[in-house]
Chains A and B, each alone.
Chain A
Amino acid sequence: MNNSTPSLPSAGLLKKNLEVLDKRWPDIYQAINRTTKRPSIAVSRDTPVPTLIIDGIHLSSGYDRVKEAQLQSLLVPDKSNKAWVYGVGLGDLPRTLLERNKIEQLFVVIMNLGLVKQSFSSLDHTDWLSDPRVNLLTATDQIDVHFPFATTPPCLELADNSSASLRDLIYLELATPSICKKHSPDNRHLIERLAENKNFMQMDGDVTSLFGSAIGETIIIAAAGPTLAKHYEWIRQQQEKHLLIAVDAALRPLHKAGINPDIVVTIDGHPKLIYTFFNDLDLTQYEQRPLIYFPIVHKNVLNLWPGPRFVAYADLPLYREYINKFPKGILFASGGVLHPATDLAIKMGATKVVLLGADYAFPNNQTHVNNCSIAQKREAGLNFWVLSGRGERIPTAPNYRGALRDLERYIAYHPEVTFINGSREGAFIKNTTFLEK
């Protein structure tokens, strides 16, 4: 395996690598040539094996690059004849996979053109670039993650703006085993909660009784992002015409603004946090308004609600036993309460859904809308980011990035519905248009 030592950038190496690109992928050749943004580069000298450091991030192990690439390649099963590699890095991962005779096609996706230019300037990549089994691609045209795949993690961290969505989807796939474990049927806390809530599941309504009750209508959904506050006046004007569904964290801010949502959705099993969304409010005005909940919500929250309660399940193994015992409807959920709220709106029959406060980010470094019990200012910094509706990087949290991408996938499955994003200050949500007031 070619495991050449990176050197400081040289025009000769870049030319040699780009010559292969010019012949095989002229569009990428031109895109790399056009790239002017060159991240800062250094060659590590304090490790046994020199490696490139780009913007402070090591592109490979400084001890054993081959061993590292071999480990990374294990995500692709031995029997696969096709594989995807996300991130070029130093070229070690594509090389390792190409050593397998079984591999007939290897798709290598560039996550940052500037980074690749730097790597091409410092190392000879011509061996794997010339392999006829390789197909080089940019992230821009990649709508979703392909399987089986392996990745060079620093390339995800250094992804450029056009690769941000793909980066989040890859991270989401890599985190899925951990996420599933948290909601697995052997999570003791959640099992206890479900057992405690048997009576609620038995006595309360079924969310399906609301399905089809708003066919062809516009439904407004209030999430608890900071920009929700900018829409209060508009909501007041619209609420006579359109149904307002609120996620639990948005109830308090709306209530304090004199707005009573028509339906509230709560799904989280946190024993204390969710309680703070409800506990200090005069809820008597909600005697006729439904609360939709997943039965892992603490009974203290359920007991606070004066109106009708409707059970819904997520499509998770955790609920299987109870779905059979107490059959109720299923709502989509994959990392946030906005998902089931949106799915509820669609299953009620909405053809237009207006998402307000669906920021999935921290505009102005604020975590939630004012008056949300968990709202706080956070320190400035872009460790995690998404693109805003204005195309600028804005801070976020990793779980928000994942939930955003799952919402985008959900939206993509519903082309029959018009989705409108209330604000350009929060995260850009694919396949939505912006609200024109």
Chain B
Amino acid sequence: MNHDGLTKALLLTTKSYRLGMEAKASENLVTVIDSILTNLNNAATTPSTHLNNILAEILAAQGRRDFLRIADLLEYELAPVLVP
């Protein structure tokens, strides 16, 4: 997935979480994270500590079903790192 596609997917995921459409949001989140990992692999790049921390925090928020926090992390933390 290119940057445009990833940004679009991120926004869609964020929106779904904020609206309470959790099933759709969680499905999209898997696509987003898979895509990030694939892009990193393809670029043979090691994820930065900052990116790792954000991803870890997203997973922790998902574990406690803290959906608006996930949305914030995607929109305001992850998106700027991925699409500077």
Contacts and interface: CB of A to CB of B under 8 A. Distances in A.
B23 interface: yes
A80 to B, nearest CB: 16
A148 to B, nearest CB: 13
B68 A178 contact: no
B72 A47 contact: yes
Contact of A175 (B22, B66, B72): B22
A58 B68 contact: yes
A56 B64 contact: yes
A75 B19 contact: yes
Interface in A336-384: 383
A31 interface: no
A333 interface: no
A72 B18 contact: yes
A141 to B, nearest CB: 21
A179 B22 CA distance: 12
Contacts of A154: 66-68
Nearest to B23: A175
A60 B71 CA distance: 10
A185 interface: no
Interface string B39-68: 000000000000000000000000011111
Which label, helix, strand, loop or mixed, suits the secondary structure of the B interface? helix
B65 A62 contact: no
B24 A178 contact: yes
B4 interface: no
Given A63-B75, A72-B18, A153 B68 contact: yes
Nearest to A181: B24
B68 A59 contact: yes
Contacts of B75: 63
Given A61-B72, A178-B27, A72 B19 contact: yes
A177 interface: yes
A58 B60 CA distance: 13
A64 B59 CA distance: 22
A68 B20 contact: no
A56 B72 CA distance: 15
A61 B71 CA distance: 8
22 contacts: A47-B72, A56-B66, A57-B66, A58-B72, A59-B68, A63-B72, A68-B68, A71-B18, A72-B19, A75-B19, A150-B19, A153-B19, A154-B66, A157-B65, A171-B22, A175-B22, A175-B23, A175-B24, A178-B23, A178-B27, A179-B23, A383-B65
Interface of B: 15, 17-24, 27, 64-69, 71-72, 75-76
Interface of A: 47, 56-63, 68, 71-72, 75, 150-154, 156-157, 170-171, 174-175, 177-179, 383, 398
Sorted from nearest, which 5 A-B pairs have the closest CB atoms?
Answer: A153-B20, A175-B23, A58-B69, A56-B64, A178-B24
